[in-house]
Amino acid sequence: MKCSKQTEKMRGRNRNIINKAKEIALAIMAVGIISSCQTAMRDNVKPTITVSLPVEAYFIEKIAGNKVDINIMIPQSAGHSDYTPRPSQMMDLSKSKAYFAIGGLDFERTWQERIMSVNKDLKWVDLSDGIELIKNEDHDHEANEEGHVHAIDPHYWLSPKEAKVMAENIYKEIKNLINEREESIDSALNVLETEIENLDRKLTEEKKKGDKAFMIYHPALTYIARDYNMTQMEIEKDGNAPTPQTYMEQIEKAKAKKAGVVFVQDGYDIEKAEKASKMLNAKVVMFTPEGYDWKGTMETIINALRTE
């Protein structure tokens, strides 16, 4: 009897040991599963790219699709010369892998050091690399609202020739950033480049028709004027509203050049643009240079410049 009781106790202890071992094994497996899930989640987290302007997001999304998240610093309705980021925007920078800079924006020059201090690992990418930028010593009209002259004209994306270079710069950086080897990124770039080349072809056709001139309130189409041999005449002077004398001088120049369109950007003096259009017998066309819908903006510009 005594023997059988001891045997029973031993069996009970063995069962407890076995059960405990099973619990430990299951716990270890659970830790392994959770750990692997967390690793997979980290691996599947989409990188965030911060950009200065909404127009950059158009190109990034065309190339990367939903493979990245985009943080836009300057809202479409805000001016880029003197914009001050909100504290929440500076906090969002800590999640970004890269900052895609237009290159030459006053905002970028003012805030680059502070932006980099928020995220020491942030990669600063200048999308103007490979573009022949128009410097101020050649064009004295590029200035902000306070009359401060920019070092360069930053609006290169409004020329298809320069937009193609920018697209290729974005492609290279995204390829490195997400370590993407899929053909989807390559084919997306091809589709975007075809879109850009079609717009370039339309402007080249206009260039072949002879001299073309246009007026614009703030000179944002300097790269189109250079790349497609057109004449741009601005209403403002050194970033400030024109005096009556300089206003009429520009109108007379535009008349001599037979300017057929007056461009005006959102937020600028539409009344002066409309007055100029009446004196020139020209149409007024509004557009948003920094806006997300780059293709729509370019089609608006090209259709306004088109000579039947």
What residue has token string 């500076």? 90
Domain-terminating residue out of 29, 45, 61: 45
The rounded distance, in Å, linking the Cα atoms of 29 and 217 is 68
| Alpha carbons 68 and 175: distance in angstroms, whole number | 11
Query: What per-residue confidence (pLDDT) applies to 222?
Result: 96
Do 263 and 158 have their domain in common? no
Indicate whether 34 belongs to any domain.
Answer: yes
* 106, part of any domain: yes
Stated pTM of the model = 0.80
Residue 163, domain member (yes or no): yes
Looking at the structure, do residues 57 and 190 belong to the same domain, yes or no? yes
- What are 72's strand-pairing partners? 51
Same domain, 131 and 176: yes
Mean pLDDT by 10 residues, the chain (308 residues): 48 51 36 33 70 98 94 85 85 91 92 92 96 70 42 93 98 86 83 98 92 93 96 87 91 94 90 93 95 97 85
Assess whether 15 and 139 both reside in one domain.
Answer: no
Residue at which a domain ends, from 169, 199, 229 = 199
Residues 5 and 62 in one domain: no
Domain count, the chain: 3
Q: How far is it, in rounded angstroms, from Cα 255 to Cα 257?
A: 5
Q: Are residues 33 and 56 in the same domain?
A: no
Looking at the domain assignment, is residue 88 inside a domain? yes
Whether residues 142 and 168 fall in one domain: yes
Q: Do 182 and 213 belong to one domain?
A: no
Do residues 179 and 54 share a domain?
yes
H or E element that contains 220: none
- Are 169 and 270 in the same domain? no
Q: Domain of 120?
A: 48-199
Q: Does 285 share its domain with 188?
A: no
- Clarify whether residues 93 and 191 are in a common domain: yes
Rounded distance, CA 306 to CA 184, Å? Answer: 35
Query: In this predicted structure, what is the pLDDT of residue 9?
Result: 46
Q: Say if 276 falls within a structural domain.
A: yes
In a domain? residue 204: no
Domain for residue 65, yes or no? yes
Give, in degrees to the nearest 5, the angle at Cα 252 between 206 and 298. 30
Q: Is residue 166 part of a domain?
A: yes
CATH number for the domain harbouring residue 178:
3.40.50.1980
pLDDT value at residue 16: 52
pLDDT at 182: 64
